Structure 1
Amino acid sequence: MSALRAKPPRRVRILRTLEPEGERPAPSWAELVATTCGPLEVRPSRADGFDGTITSGRFGAVQLASVRAEPHAVELTASRAGGVVSGELSLTCVLDGEVRVEQGGTSAVARGGGLFSYDPARPFTLRMRHPVHMMSVKFDHRLLGHSSVGEHMLRPAVWSGQEGSGALLAGLLRTTAHHMTELDPVADQLGSSVASLVSAVCGERLADADGGPAAARRALLHRVQAHARARLDDPDLTPQQLARAHHVSIRYLQLLFQEERTSPAQWIRNERLERCREELRNPRSAHLTVANIAQRWGMHGASHFSRLFRDRYGVTPREWRKTALQPTG
């Protein structure tokens, strides 16, 4: 029981260049970037006294990082790209300052309030000529759907954070950046909200980049999925409800999801199961029963939930939780 009452470790980590760590000297900006962002080559504006802070943490399905720093540049070279995990994408909101992103022979500039994206697994360069504050979201490309990630999402892209879902995402990221250390109690809900808005923003981007009926269908699918992700805890969330909310027939909704090789009902079920899976391995939810967690994500009936979970992941919810919460080392 004492293990259940133990206070879980903080989800957010703060790293500063000018702050010594115990008996160790203050880390360099290159060391902080490597710790948080991977094997990047860092070119600070000055060698000594460089001032920078990275506040980062995992929030559900997304990794968030608030970066404040003096002018500098970071580069993922071709020789270092092999050490980066592929399958992740990055979406960043520039809160203050300016960022030039270069990748694959294409470049774009994002200024305060703007959003930009790039593929963090391929060689790229970010150049900051002025002091900068930005908030980055790293997420699995599957968040956008199996058939939605084309070259337009893997090239540098910049768009407004002043309208549509981009404005909602930019506002949420700005608020989060100023309160990251206070958000542990709502971390999973925050991550779900960010993931939903990222999906919606990228859906709009896909439609703008491609045009045509296929792009319009993908954009609609992203809106439907974002709407559903924000309501997975509602047991009344059904394909019929989604169809009504987006003014389409249930048949048309089924055709949209068919392009993702699934159905609306199966997609909702799998999303709920994944949320339950994440929460079952979270020490902060150790006081909740398996049935409580299932109900929190709109799934009722302990035996029915256990069967669905085992069919999808090959283990029962209790077996998964026991393994996931088992101390390592």
Structure 2
Amino acid sequence: MVADACGPLHVYRTDPGDFHGAIASGTFGTVQLATVQAGPHSVERTERLAGQAAFTPLYLTCVLDGEVQVSQGGRTAVARTGNLFSHDSSRPFRMSMRRPIHMVSVKFDHRLVDLRVGLEHPLRAATWSGARGASVLLAGLLRSAALHMTELDMTVADQLGTSVASLVTAVCAEKLGRAGDDPAAARQALLHRVKTFARARLGSAELSPSVLARSHNISLRYLQLLFQDENTSPALWIRNERLGRCRDDLADPRTAHLTVANVAERWGLDSASHFSKLFRERYGLTPREWRRQASPTRD
């Protein structure tokens, strides 16, 4: 059961007698949520098991009741009731629960927080109090989701996924901003800040590579080098982010009242004809074709 929900793991009982546990999970937009209630136990992913896993997301977990000790990458952290903790399932880790545990986890792709699989980063065995800033909001949302996960219809589920993804990004930004003395980590932290800044301003037609460079006190050339590490450019990344938001809006029944031109303008793309050309180049369909395909009942 654990392997089905979390991928290959060694699972160890720590108490004699019967063992009871329950896992419920679901996909909500770009993230997955899973609630776990279980007796005392520990789990371990070895180097060999990490190499066997088909899906190796990051996890951000809220402890609803109990205590978890998580060890990864030479660090060990303890999360108690109300705390959040994170780990990276692409690398070896161990978690120990010495008494009954109730927790809810967000599973998400590394790209949500601008990381690459295999890269060293501060989200390995990291903890948050769950009582400050965005952590409070995320912890509250996850508590509610754990209670009502099976009752949500598709529209509400997508909205929940969007909210959770946004809060996960905000919570992780605190740790990712601490680069330390590692130059590679410093570049990654800066790139994350640049992308977070840009995502909050995609609707502005004024957003450009020059604005990003100026706002972060770096040269345009250095900005280009940051994005070059990911085989793209600042301008192309901004364009693709905008097109992705447009694609989501065109498939969303809540924005069905907007014209294609309105959707394009909403995300900083003023020319409807140019937008249609860019959209087709990226997705192989025109915006109207995509909208009809995504919403076949729409007139």
- Calculate the TM-score normalised by the size of structure 1: 0.67
Counterpart contact for 2:251–2:291, Cα < 8 Å: yes
Q: 1:172 aligns with which of 130, 141, 166?
A: 141
Counterpart contact for 1:238–1:265, Cα < 8 Å: no
The alignment status of 1:199 with 2:169, answered yes or no, reads: yes
1:121-270 superposed matches below 5 A: 121-145=90-114, 150-153=119-122, 155-180=124-149, 181-182=151-152, 184-208=154-178, 210=180, 222=192, 225-226=195-196, 229=199, 235-236=203-204, 238-239=206-207, 249=215, 258=224, 259-261=226-228, 266-270=236-240
3-state secondary structure, aligned to 2:44: strand
Residue identity matched to 2:279: F
The alignment status of 1:41 with 2:10, answered yes or no, reads: yes
Residue identity matched to 1:204: E
Query: Structure 1: how far apart are the matches of 2:88 and 2:120?
Result: 10
Match of 2:80? 111
Query: Structure 1: how far apart are the matches of 2:46 and 2:216?
Result: 48
Match of 2:40? 71
Percent of residue pairs identical: 54
Residue identity matched to 1:307: K
The alignment status of 1:94 with 2:45, answered yes or no, reads: no
Structure 1 residues 205, 154: closer, same or farther in 2, change over 3 A?
closer
Q: CA deviation at 1:87?
A: 5.9
Q: CA deviation at 1:178?
A: 2.4
Structure 1 residues 230, 239: closer, same or farther in 2, change over 3 A?
closer
Greater CA deviation, 296-305 or 190-199?
A: 296-305
What is the alpha-carbon root mean square deviation over aligned residues? 4.3
Residue identity matched to 1:189: Q
Match of 1:312? 282
Counterpart contact for 2:201–2:207, Cα < 8 Å: no
Consecutive unaligned residues of structure 1, counting only runs of 5 or more, are 1-30
Greater CA deviation, 177-186 or 56-65?
A: 177-186
3-state secondary structure, aligned to 2:145: helix
Counterpart contact for 2:64–2:82, Cα < 8 Å: yes
Per-residue CA distance 1:254-292 (angstroms, 9 max, x = gap): 68964334677654442232245457778x89x899949
Residue identity matched to 1:187: A
Greater CA deviation, 103-112 or 44-53?
A: 44-53
Structure 1 residues 97, 148: closer, same or farther in 2, change over 3 A?
same
Query: Structure 1: how far apart are the matches of 2:197 and 2:161?
Result: 15
Structure 1 residues 60, 34: closer, same or farther in 2, change over 3 A?
same
Counterpart contact for 1:103–1:156, Cα < 8 Å: yes
Q: CA deviation at 1:37?
A: 1.2
Per-residue CA distance 1:172-226 (angstroms, 9 max, x = gap): 2223222323363233332222222222222211233527999888667646645
Query: Structure 1: how far apart are the matches of 2:221 and 2:103?
Result: 38
Consecutive unaligned residues of structure 2, counting only runs of 5 or more, are none
Match of 1:85? 54
Aligned residues: 288
Query: Structure 2: how far apart are the matches of 1:322 and 1:223?
Result: 36
1:21-32 superposed matches below 5 A: 31=1
Residue identity matched to 1:53: A
Query: Structure 1: how far apart are the matches of 2:173 and 2:266?
Result: 25
Match of 1:272? 242
Counterpart contact for 2:7–2:55, Cα < 8 Å: no
